């Protein structure tokens, strides 16, 4: 979580995690932190380049919005460069964005249906640019939201990065199944996640694609500490977002989130985020999500006790999880 740590610390934690059995890294793409107290918001592409140099596993942004702050062609260039530096390791996670990060460039902030339409047009543009560039051809794009004059990517790996679409909505998940290489979603009640995977699979089958070969990725927020009291204190202080039972996509300022965070109570995390000191409970929680059908789970421990969490999970949780 690049909103919580200076970039050098984040890279160090990624390296430490790999030493303790984790096999990949997902990094957030924020212009601002959720809360002022988190204190950071480094540029994700810079940090991913450093993570790639210091680790050996997979990595990507979860997720970049290729529609407001950054044109899709520039996102494609950044992604292709990482994939060229680190063949077979980088994937591209794309989302429709939140006002907290995207309104900073001063554009009108559209409603959800337009943001989703812009995202899928961006997916189409990036895919066309990847495909044409691998073939050594130029391509252009004139759509309802984006223009790209005739061009190509001059730095392009032989195999394009996988494009994963981030969503928590069933309609968007179904559409993602038709056009993306995979799905990213965040922790939610098990029945909702099962339904989301089902809609993603429906979309893949409707377009004649093999859903078994597509990536189903979960970003799982948890709060672990040596005691339940510490775990809950970390959740309330560092990730009250996990207890907010309302849409947050239109909130523009960390200071607004700070005011809303004061309304979050311990019971608000129930069914939304696991808060526990029991490592076996965390193991079972991860296992159940794997059994739902996710093939990659990126675990975000919301506290600042990252080294302690990495070492504990590497010692007692990861070895006991069945893929």
**Distance between CA atoms of residues 218 and 243, nearest Å:** 18
Question: Token pair of 205, please?
Answer: 């089958």
Question: Token pair of 169, please?
Answer: 């909505």
**Active site amino acids:** 30, 98
Sign of the dihedral defined by the CA atoms of residues 108, 110, 116, 117, in that order: negative
Q: Which residues contact 292 (CB under 8 A, 6 or more apart)?
A: 190, 193, 194, 197
The answer to whether 65 and 29 have CB atoms below 8 angstroms apart is yes
Helices and strands, number each (H, E), in the chain: 11, 10
247 burial type by CB count under 10 A (0-12 exposed, 13-18 middle, 19+ buried):
exposed
Q: How many CA atoms lie within 13 A of 91 on its CB side?
A: 26
The answer to whether 320 and 290 have CB atoms below 8 angstroms apart is no
**Distance between CA atoms of residues 312 and 226, nearest Å:** 10
**Distance between CA atoms of residues 23 and 19, nearest Å:** 9
**Distance between CA atoms of residues 40 and 31, nearest Å:** 9
Question: Token pair of 74, please?
Answer: 């520039």
Which residue carries 């070492």 as its tokens? 311
The answer to whether 73 and 293 have CB atoms below 8 angstroms apart is no
The answer to whether 296 and 289 have CB atoms below 8 angstroms apart is no
What are the CA-CA distances from residue 9 to residues 12, 275, 305 (Å)? 5, 24, 12
Say how many C-beta atoms besides its own lie within 10 A of residue 277's C-beta.
17
């Amino acid at each position: 979580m690049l909103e919580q740590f200076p970039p050098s610390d984040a890279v160090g934690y990624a390296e430490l995690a790999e030493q303790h059995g984790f096999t990949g890294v997902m990094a957030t793409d924020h212009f601002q932190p959720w809360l002022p107290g988190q204190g950071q918001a480094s540029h994700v592409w810079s940090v991913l380049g450093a993570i790639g140099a210091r680790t050996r596993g997979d990595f990507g942004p979860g997720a970049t919005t290729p529609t407001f702050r950054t044109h899709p062609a520039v996102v494609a260039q950044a992604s292709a460069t990482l994939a060229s530096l680190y063949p077979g390791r980088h994937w591209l996670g794309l989302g429709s964005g939140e006002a907290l990060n995207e309104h900073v460039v001063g554009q009108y902030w559209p409603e959800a249906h337009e943001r989703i339409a812009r995202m899928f047009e961006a997916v189409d543009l990036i895919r066309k640019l990847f495909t044409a560039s691998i073939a050594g051809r130029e391509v252009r794009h004139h759509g309802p939201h984006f223009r790209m004059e005739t061009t190509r990517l001059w730095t392009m790996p032989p195999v394009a990065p996988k494009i994963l679409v981030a969503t928590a909505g069933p309609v968007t998940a179904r559409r993602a199944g038709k056009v993306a290489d995979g799905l990213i979603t965040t922790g939610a009640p098990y029945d909702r996640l099962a339904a989301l995977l089902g809609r993603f699979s429906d979309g893949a089958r409707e377009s004649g694609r093999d859903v078994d070969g597509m990536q189903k990725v979960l970003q799982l927020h948890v709060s672990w500490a040596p005691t339940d009291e510490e775990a809950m204190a970390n959740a309330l202080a560092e990730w009250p977002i996990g207890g907010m039972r309302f849409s947050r996509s239109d909130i523009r300022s960390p200071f607004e989130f700070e005011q809303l965070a004061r309304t979050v109570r311990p019971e608000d995390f129930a069914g939304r985020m696991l808060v526990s000191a029991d490592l076996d409970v965390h193991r079972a929680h991860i296992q159940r999500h794997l059994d739902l059908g996710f093939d990659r789970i990126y675990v975000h421990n919301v506290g600042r006790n990252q080294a302690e969490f990495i070492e504990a999970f590497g010692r007692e949780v990861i070895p006991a999880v069945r893929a």
